[in-house]
Amino acid sequence: MSALFQPFRLRDVTIPNRVWMPPMCQYSAASEGPDTGAPTDWHFAHYAARAAGGTGLILVEASGVSPEGRISPYDLGLWNDTQVEAFRRITRFLVSQGTVPGIQLAHSGRKASTDRTWTGGAPLAPEAGGWQPLAPSALAFDERHPVPTELTVDQIKQIVGQFADAADRALAAGFEVVEIHGAHGYLINEFLSPHSNHRTDAYGGSYENRTRLALEVVDAVRAVWPDDKPLFFRISATDWLEDGGWTADDTVRLAGDLQAHGVDLLDVSTGGNASGVRIPTGPGYQVPFAARVKAETALPVAAVGLITEVEQAEKILANEEADAVLLGRELLRSPSWARLAARELGAETQVPDQYHRSV
């Protein structure tokens, strides 16, 4: 039987296959007014198409736990009840198609307050709809970004509470999986890495101090997220720096700590916290980082990074390099990738009645 189309059970949630969609920002939420941060018709059509296409788990894009936690003014959020109600329309449809709905909760830290990527993604000043970014230390991401405001301990505690509140709203919105965003140079990743965290208090310096925020967020979310539902954590396994950054060794160590605090799966990506680094990209270039966590810990993992071919994805799972694969750009190109893969592998997958002619 195909490894890709084996169901995967985490706590009391069974995901029908191992073809998953990672969070990918659409920069299409309302940026002002009462619907700010709420999903639109675009989001419904976008996620509904991938559910009808057989994707087993869809992780809705990074959603800010506060207005200033968004990457851009056009990002989704989960800080009010208007957003909750708008998300319910999406989760109901995903469930109707047999897809498990998940959402990534995020705070973008020093990389906040930028424009849409297709218009250049430049930082936005407050007078242009932006805001002052927050970070563990007053260190700009690069020469384009402003110097962020260094968070106080009280502000850090407030953000921990915002993650818990957002998780509570995610439950009310019908999501069955929550993922905490600890990757790609956003706030939690900034705390983890000595490249971006120069604090000298309880949240900086040693490994234990730099990982404190991540574990406090996990604890706060796990306290409100039901015991029967899984919690994911997305990690950048390396900063791709020769020294002075977060490393694969750190990731393996953190995986054990995260599992002890109630995380059920590590979503393994890389990079995003240091500008100008050279990343050796290629098909499956991030899979070895997931494979190492799987080999050296008991925590399930998902692999990402230029996974595009059916045979490639099947081999990753058959070789036990990961427990699931997350297809990003390929699912943007081909919303029904999962159903096409099932046909190629001779596996069964749910097909909407309206698409019976495609079987």
The answer to whether residue 58 sits within a structural domain is: yes
The answer to whether residue 2 sits within a structural domain is: no
Is the distance from CB of 259 to CB of 275 less than 8 angstroms?
no
The answer to whether residue 108 sits within a structural domain is: yes
**Dist. CA 83–CA 133, nearest whole Å:** 23
Secondary structure, 3-state, the chain:
CCCCCCCEEECCEEECCCEEECCCCCCCCCCCCCCCCCCCHHHHHHHHHHHHCCCCEEEEEEEECCHHHCCCCCCCECCCHHHHHHHHHHHHHHHHCCCEEEEEEECCHHHCCECCHHHCCCECCHHHCCCCCEECCCCCCCCCCCCCEECCHHHHHHHHHHHHHHHHHHHHCCCCEEEEEECCCCHHHHHHCCCCCCCCCCCCCCHHHHCHHHHHHHHHHHHHCCCCCCEEEEEECCCCCCCCCCCHHHHHHHHHHHHHCCCCEEEEECCCCCCCCCCCCCCCCCHHHHHHHHHHCCCCEEECCCCCCHHHHHHHHHCCCCCEEECCHHHHHCCCHHHHHHHHHCCCCCCCHHHHHHC
The answer to whether residue 232 sits within a structural domain is: yes
Q: Is 203 a catalytic residue?
A: no
pLDDT at 358: 83
CATH number of the domain where residue 69 is located: 3.20.20.70
pLDDT in tens, 156-200: 999 999 999 999 999 999 999 999 999 999 999 999 999 999 999
Q: What is the mean pLDDT of the chain?
A: 97
The answer to whether residue 52 sits within a structural domain is: yes
Residue among 27, 47, 74, 186 flagged as catalytic: 186
Instruction: Look at phi and psi of residue 326 and say left if phi exceeds 0, alpha if psi is from -120 to 50, else beta.
Output: beta
**Dist. CA 13–CA 150, nearest whole Å:** 39
Domain count along the chain? 1
For 276-285, b/e burial (b = at least 16 CB within 10 A) is eeeeeeeebe
Domain membership of residue 310 as a residue range: 8-358
pLDDT in tens, 219-241: 999 999 999 999 999 999 999 99
Residues 6+ apart with CB under 8 A from 23: 59, 60, 61, 62, 103, 104, 179, 181, 234
Is the distance from CB of 341 to CB of 53 less than 8 angstroms?
no
pLDDT band of 60, cuts 50, 70, 90: very high
Report the percent of the chain where pLDDT is more than 70.
Answer: 100
Q: pTM of the prediction?
A: 0.97
Q: Is the pLDDT of residue 359 over 90?
A: no
Q: Is the pLDDT of residue 348 over 90?
A: no
pLDDT band of 349, cuts 50, 70, 90: confident
Phi, psi values for residue 62, rounded to 5°: -50, 120
The answer to whether residue 1 sits within a structural domain is: no
pLDDT in tens, 19-55: 999 999 999 999 999 999 999 999 999 999 999 999 9
The answer to whether residue 3 sits within a structural domain is: no
Report the Cα 78 to chain-centroid distance in Å. 14
Phi, psi values for residue 59, rounded to 5°: -95, 110
pLDDT in tens, 76-124: 999 999 999 999 999 999 999 999 999 999 999 999 999 999 999 999 9
The answer to whether residue 220 sits within a structural domain is: yes
Q: Is the pLDDT of residue 72 over 90?
A: yes
pLDDT at 1: 85
pLDDT at 356: 84
pLDDT in tens, 296-329: 999 999 999 999 999 999 999 999 999 999 999 9
**Dist. CA 237–CA 303, nearest whole Å:** 11
